[in-house]
Amino acid sequence: MAPLSHIRVLDLSRVLAGPWCAQILGDLGADVIKVENPKSGDDTRRWGPPFLTDEHGEAADAAYYLCANRNKRSIAVNIADAEGQAMLKRLAAESDVVIENYKTGGLKKYGLDYDSLKAVNPDLVYCSVTGFGQTGPWKNQPGYDFLIQAMGGLMSVTGEETPMKVGVPAVDLFTGVYAAGAVMAALIARTKGQGGQRIDMALFDVQTAMLANQAANYFVSGKTPGRQGNAHPNIVPYQDFPTSDGRIAVAVGNDGQFQAFAQALGRPDWASDSRFMRNADRVANREVLIADITLTLNAETTACWTERLHAAGVPCGPILALDQVFSHEQAQARELAFSLPMTGVGDAPMIANPMRLSKTGPQYCKAPPRFAEHTSEVLQERLGLTENEIQSLRERSIVC
């Protein structure tokens, strides 16, 4: 049985960080109800092209939407309507978790803020995801991944001559992962008699935590780190190099690996050179060593060096485009790509959850839902409404 099969989640979030958190919980068995705006649904349904096409050849949901909405049921409820608010409050009253990413205080006017829902469900775990958190002078400012990458220091240490964002929305994704961990921690605390609680997740906080070693370097040295491209601030050689037919990524993590690296490149003299013997020496003499390595690796192909360095026990590999990633033998062996049947569409492509548990790992039961696909099902199952009552709600634009 999935570890969270007893957990009910009401997901009021949209776009990525909140939905990513909810998808992780859904992969682990939670029953996730995704609540969408009846007029438009989740913004990411329209973030294309590319779009999936439905059985009639028409554009359906955008590919972006697929990445974060597996293992959920979709309902559409008008949150601005009093009847809609009452239904959501009833759903929250019998849920274990609520996830929302409205602006700070944005749900209070709808009676769906933490204090309002805590009054009807004291054991509720309520996870708020915002750009800057529930406190501080920036708490009311909207937060988007790119903005937080800029303000949170990530762009200052990424790229070469100019600041560069990461190629995926890393802050949103990490926030979703941290939020899922926090939700599960709160659920465990609840089983120990500590009741429900509110979780305050801020993209800005997550990004500063992600500075990790770069922040530690700054705190210890007092020096603000800059951009080093693909090079590592603390380890040499730990970057990519040109070969005769492309580039190769080399990750030499210790002095023993460097000795093996030098031997494999036909330069055993590097390992006995006082400028390069220890990692601290290699960092101090980075430019000289990198220039020599570049000249040496440029003489053979990426495949040749990969084979030679693997034989020597040196971590390395080619720089792969996405088509090469998913066709790679390791990705195939780990079944990192698969598909799920999506209503009215056919097979929808999915990327595997990386959690590998020997007994209670992720399960893939539901493709991302079509817009409002489960409104009737959920309202009948959870609230006991009849089809006639639900039809009346539809006619009055309270649900869709």
Across the beta sheet with 72-76, the strand order is: 72-76, 31-36, 8-11, 97-100, 125-130, 197-202
Q: CA-to-CA distance for 43 and 64, rounded, in angstroms? A: 10
Task: Give the distance, in angstroms, between the CA of residue 247 and the centroid of all CA atoms in the same chain.
Answer: 27
Antiparallel, parallel or unpaired: β 31-36 and 51-53 = unpaired
Residues annotated as catalytic (active site), given as ranges: 172
Q: CA-to-CA distance for 245 and 288, rounded, in angstroms? A: 23
Q: CA-to-CA distance for 154 and 206, rounded, in angstroms? A: 11
Neighbours of 223 (CB within 10 A): 8
Q: CA-to-CA distance for 96 and 192, rounded, in angstroms? A: 15
Q: What is the largest CA-CA distance in the chain?
A: 83
DSSP assignments along 171-239, one per residue: HHHHHHHHHHHHHHHHHHHIIIII--EEEEEEHHHHHHHHTHHHHHHHHHH-PPP---TTS-SS-SSEE
Antiparallel, parallel or unpaired: β 125-130 and 197-202 = parallel
